[in-house]
Amino acid sequence: MIQILIVEDEKPISNLIRMSLSRQGYGCTCVYDGNDAADLLEQKPFDLILLDVMLPGCDGFELMDYIRPLGTPVIFITAKNSVSDRVRGLRMGADDYIVKPFEVLELLARVDVVLRRYNKVDCLLEAGGLTIDTRSMQVLRDGVEIPLTRKEYDLLLLFARNPGTALYRETIYERVWGGDYTGESRTVDLHIQRLRKKVGWEKRLKAVSKVGYRLEL
127-137 pLDDT, tens digit per residue, is: 899 999 887 88
Cα 67–Cα 86–Cα 27 angle in degrees, nearest 5: 45
Q: What is the pLDDT of residues 83-126, one digit of tens each?
A: 887 888 888 888 999 988 888 888 988 998 899 888 877 677 88
Please tell me the CATH code under which domain 3-117 is placed: 3.40.50.2300
- Compute the CA torsion angle 198, 192, 153, 175 (nearest 10 deg): -170
Handedness of CA 22, 26, 29, 34 (dihedral sign): negative
**Range in 147-161, 170-184, 200-214 the model is least confident about:** 170-184
Taking the C-alpha atoms of residue 35 and residue 62, their distance in angstroms, rounded to an integer, is 10
Q: What are the boundaries of each domain within the chain? A: 3-117, 124-215
Q: What is the arithmetic mean of pLDDT over 20-40?
A: 89
* Domain 124-215, CATH among 1.10.10.10, 3.20.20.370, 1.20.1540.10, 2.60.120.260: 1.10.10.10
Name the residue with higher pLDDT: 195 or 217.
195
Task: Cite the beta strand spans of the chain per DSSP E.
Answer: 3-7, 27-31, 48-51, 74-78, 96-99, 124-127, 130-133, 138-141, 144-145, 167-168, 205-208, 212-215
- Position 184 pLDDT exceeds 80: no
Name the residue with higher pLDDT: 88 or 182.
88
